[in-house]
Structure 1
């Protein structure tokens, strides 16, 4: 009974505190600030409240501030920004600090949320265009000036295999919200390659790894704030081994300091060397541009890529960096020998040959260059991209066939061979049928794009989905499917 009373009292307090009738909030509230609770981590507790407190990346912070200021002056050149850079470099902290500096409310979506097209529309788009409350609890409409900052954290990992039109939903949010939007990504290429519209709509601001000297200053400030004594050797070890990841450095300090007031030097043994997964782009940088065969080999040691996939990355990018014909010839010759070893591995199941293939595609390709490297932007393998698109189209085609099969009382196989080709032709040529079928079958952007042979963010697809949305708004609960209704309708009606 005691626990139930506490829960009910908590609910009552929260309800009254955030009621629009409340004159004030129970605690001073600042838009965009995550308030740490009693069990919050040190990274949350010491998160900067203002852009001037963000450590490192002064150029990126300045660009972000200028972009925000352009919103206050009127319509900015770009409605959204992509904050791109390695983990722990202050991207999320900068976005939240910006909201606090500007007095903007925050609508945030991160990796812990459900992540698909519907979720983006519900959380990001609706949150951006609906009303809010001021920091004193007064009701404020969006039209009255209630600016909101929409933050999509870990945007490069925002959608998995369950994604249905997720990138299109982000693009729609940027176009329709009329609010500043921040996309945060560790891997800029993984995000940008998914949509050309996304690249054109966003300003890109790149964050770099935090310098060890800056990390040391932050660690000393955290230690002072917690009232603990930490030897300089421990501070220096953590800062030097965090690989520019300030969040990881603070977490390491918290790990060895919990419950202690004086930290012994030997405490660093509990941390060990940070074994972070290498980026494929960083590996390509070492292979093509370091000029050091040993570094090229080491760059793929912790890489989360199979040799079969890595060879595709290298094959795609040899022409990007090797411009001299003799460099190209030597590079592709080494890669060809690596491919032979991979083929023998598959054919004979002798996986010890992988080591020879790896050496040839890293050290062999690295040693092949004698001239200057091209310095172009590394490219995602076209073969993998085409395979991914083909797999995605097959999934969309099969889902569409299943929907048609339920309506036509056919198996999916029969629909694919007999009904779908004719349906697709009729869908693309008859505007009324197109609208009715989209409504009746509840088609999404991917399925519409497949039937029209268009991209998801094309004008034809967006225009049709807008028409569907308007019709659904007028007729929210149809008694029966439109296709069935048209079949049963008499010629004289």
Structure 2
């Protein structure tokens, strides 16, 4: 199942959000290929994460009718793989429908995309940057290098800077991000309050992909979203987000970078280990890699457990090293490169926390009516009250009026969704009575014959 960011990826440059000048410059460069080989055969598309760089490259290829040859950080990071894949594709080859290489004359133009080019080559790979330069010099096909950090890529080679046309992409303005969020919510058939859209857009830090991930987190599988839903998001530092940390831990192959990626991360060790546990099987496909990775994660969990039991917080450092450097060093095969997933356990806990809040609010109302503590109501009264509420239509109607229950509390008692027919029907009847009668006096539990009906 694809993420919403992938599902609603732009199909054309006309659909790209923001950066109109960068889009126009990219299109102008692409059109120059119609006149033969241009002076700049490659473009460096540089900008912050989530600003549409990869989407723009793929949309450009679709607009131009070009096939795509793509390498990214999940591929083997060495000079040999660049020469075997990118160079071969950039000079003379394209793909057929069956996946075979064809000559340019037979297969047409193709776009070579080196995604996350600033992370493709580590210090141990002395030939990688030379392979890129050699590829560009010999290319007979358009090439786009995508980078979050232009300096990290360009400082490796002055030749690379001179051979490429640099197009810089800026962060997405919050108003543009909000417009996309509204469109996606409408397309998914989900009612999202404007306050939620405003919150996610204002906290997106210019990262549209991150904003879509946040919306999906609180809205997938729902028909309505409440303002409380955004409590699980929080303001995140996109520069050191958990997604970026997972990239370094699971895909970089560099233990030092894996450790540094969590230094400024706004995640507790207890939550971070859940993120890694959820996504380790996504990237570690070989059984021996998985076994080593989970062994390191298991040892990290032991240290976290000792920290909680003995209050020895110095053990956090050992746990952090195991879940970052230990897990990173465990992989010897190629990473899977799939989409990172939000930890299901955290998601369930977030939903459970929401249900507890509703339960406690309901218990407080019952406690005031019965002169009991909220804790006593939860333990001694609520289970029986819930049974009576669901089985007796007259009592249900009367208690909804008497306690001034809202949709959330009714849905909790009936174990149904807020927008279910039963909840909506009951609320309509209650609102009708509230609209023509004074609020019921404290202690009045029975409804009139006219208004109390079976349900």
* Number of matched pairs: 245
1:244 & 1:95 partners in 2: Cα distance? 19
Distance 1:132 1:277, change over 3 A: closer
CA apart distance, 1:141 = 2.5
Cα RMSD after superposing both structures: 2.4
> What is residue 40 of structure 1 aligned with on the other side?
2
Q: Report the alpha carbon displacement of residue 44 of structure 1 after superposing the two structures with TM.
A: 0.8
Structure 1 position 123 matched with structure 2 position 90: no
Distance in 2 between residues matched to 1:124 and 1:131, nearest whole Å: 10
Give the secondary-structure state (helix, strand or coil) at the position aligned to 2:167: strand
1:203 is aligned to 2:165 = yes
Conservation of the 8 A alpha-carbon contact between 2:112 and 2:143:
yes
Q: How far off its partner does 1:157 sit? A: 0.8
Closer/same/farther in 2, CA of residues 145 and 112 from structure 1, 3 Å limit = closer
Deviations 1:341-377 (A, max 9, x none): xxxxxxxxxxxxxxxxxxxxxxxxxxxxxxxxxxxxx
Whether 2:114 is the aligned partner of 1:152: answer yes
How far did residue 146 of structure 1 move? 1.4
TM superposition shift of 1:136: 10
Cα distance change of structure 1 residues 102 and 135 upon mapping to structure 2, 3 Å threshold:
farther
Does the 8 A contact of 2:90 with 2:143 survive in 1? no
> Which of 238, 244, 259 is the aligned partner of 2:206?
244
- Aligned pairs for 1:349-388 (under 5 A) are none
| Alignment match, 1:276 | 238
* Equivalent residue number for residue 98 of structure 1: 60
Question: Is the counterpart of residue 227 in structure 1 residue 227 in structure 2?
Answer: no
Q: Distance in 1 between matches of 2:231 and 2:72?
A: 33
With structure 2 as the length reference, what TM-score do the two structures score? 0.51
Which residue is equivalent to 2:50? 88
Residue 223 (structure 2) aligns with: 261
Structure 1 match to 2:75:
113
Q: CA deviation at 1:224?
A: 1.1
Q: Is residue 18 of structure 2 the alignment partner of residue 50 of structure 1?
A: no
Q: Which stretches in structure 1 are left out of the alignment for 5+ residues? A: 1-38, 280-300, 305-493
- CA distance in 1 between counterparts of 2:191 and 2:103 reads 50
Where does 1:61-460 land on structure 2 (aligned, <5 Å)? Answer: 61-133=23-95, 141-144=103-106, 146-277=108-239
Structure 2 unaligned regions, length at least 5: 242-262, 267-455
**C-alpha separation between the residues in 1 aligned to 2:144 and 2:36?**
18
Report deviation, 1:270: 0.6
> Is the 8 Å Cα contact of residues 117 and 169 (structure 1) preserved in structure 2?
yes
Q: Is the 8 A contact 1:277 1:303 kept in 2?
A: no
Q: Deviations over 1:164-193 (max 9, x none)?
A: 310000001111121100000111111111
